[in-house]
Chain A
Amino acid sequence: MAEQRRIKVKVNGLEYERAVEPRRHLADFLREDLELLGTHIGCEHGICGSCTVLLNGEPIRSCLVFAIQAHGAEIMTVEGLSKDGKLNPIQEAFQEHHGLQCGFCTPGMLMVAYYFLNENPNPTVEEVRQVMSGVLCRCTGYKQVIDSVMAAAAKLKKSREEGAGT
């Protein structure tokens, strides 16, 4: 076995310290070393997007980053979306609009949507279609995914307005 390196990462707000082989990619590290199984591995070569997580706030394919490269970084996985068992509005929207069937791509979809809606709170359908196409889905045909993201945008907008009003 190759020499291991100690790394420190913050995942969903919690600090972790582990020793890993350099060849361990981030997706495997999250799943196997930290037992956060929400991040899925569909292709392991950067095509499917189901392994998408946020690294220092930016969406990346965790199968294309070695865990040791994430030393010192802040990571958000799908487990970080809900708070105290309450679904994030994006997750609610996916539930209400059938944005998932088998659920395999869903963590990737949610993380991309989370980043995207934060950057672009008033997207057009075309913009949603373009960004969500980076995650491969074999079940939904994408229509429900697009509907879910548009609905999530509306939900987030409403809660921002309600928040501002109080």
Chain B
Amino acid sequence: MKPGTFEYFDPRTVQEAIELLERYGDEAKILAGGQSLIPMMNFRVARPKVLIDINQIKELVYIREEEGELAIGSLTRQRTVEVSPLVQERCPVLAEAISYIGHLPIRFRGTIGGSLVHADPSAEIPITICGLDGKMKVTGPSGERVLRADEFFLTYLTSSLELSEVLVELRVPTLPSNTGWSFVEFSRRYGDFGIVAVACLLFMGDKGRCRKASIALGGVAPTPIRAAEAEKLFAGQVITESLIDEAGIKAAQAADPESDYHASAEYRKDMAKVFTRRGLREAWNKVKEGK
């Protein structure tokens, strides 16, 4: 199994990449980390006539704090974000989620942007960005636009990028220091693709009450989803075990999975309940421990 032949370009700027995309249209694919694309090319499941290798576009590699947000260049390697002290301090749920991606060598090549554009609803980064209400900055021939997670992820493996657009930046909020957070994933072995994964955030208010919660699930729908009805349970409430149990049930109701080789729909729905509860408990523990 070897890839088919292709024409290869390695542009140095985003503008060059966009021009190449405009020229070649749907015959071209962007190569970033390659950890999802190259296996498909090795199998010849993907056979782009033109490969646009963007790994030389250094302007897309950065992690910055700007006005209460972290701005992360789309080409930044997953491992770089995982171990970044800035991310671990300001948005630790993202660093934690990334640590679940495959194995170390995958994360040394895989990029933040690549995972987002690949838009696998079971993937850790899309789920977490959904939970964080992150924003994706996208550039194309008609200029720049910013997309929310619910605008960005359309369905399985499909983002709303137009043909000539390039994802350039991810923005996520920095979390207040008393925020409870967790990322939990269910897989059969360490490093496997997740069957169900949940990102939880508990934003605390006054008098030990939760101001609002964010519960994002993956592996249970064509895109990552927020369990809105489960989240509503937390608004202005004191967190209790029974609240968490109830949230698990509501999260499972929000899940609408397909059955596949890895798990049946019924099992995924049940695991949505179980792992939502585990995630919320873990996030709550962080609040209690003052982390």
Contact = CB atoms under 8 A, between A and B. Distances in A.
A123 interface: no
Contacts of B43: 45
Given A1-B5, A23-B5, A64 B104 contact: no
B38 A22 contact: no
A38 interface: no
A63 B42 contact: yes
B61 to A, nearest CB: 14
Contacts of B39: 44-46, 64
Interface stretch (A53-61, A83-91, A96-104, A158-166): A53-61
A133 B106 contact: no
A65 B34 contact: yes
A55 B55 CA distance: 14
Interface in B22-36: 34-35
B188 interface: no
B84 to A, nearest CB: 16
Given A49-B105, A60-B109, A133 B38 contact: no
A25 interface: yes
A32 B37 CA distance: 23
B53 A23 contact: no
Interface string B103-115: 1111011000000
A133 B190 contact: yes
Interface string A60-74: 110111101100000
B189 A133 contact: yes
Interface in B231-287: none
Given A23-B5, A69-B53, A134 B42 contact: no
A60 B34 CA distance: 11
A131 B7 CA distance: 36
Interface string B1-45: 111111110000000000000000000000000110011011100
Contacts of A44: 1-2, 39, 42
B51 interface: yes
Contact of A64 (B2, B6, B34): B34
Interface of A: 1-3, 5, 21-23, 25, 28, 44-46, 49, 52, 55, 58-61, 63-66, 68-69, 112, 130-131, 133-134
Given A22-B51, A64-B38, A69-B55, 4 more contacts: A2-B8, A22-B5, A61-B105, A130-B190
5 contacts: A25-B2, A64-B39, A66-B34, A66-B53, A134-B106
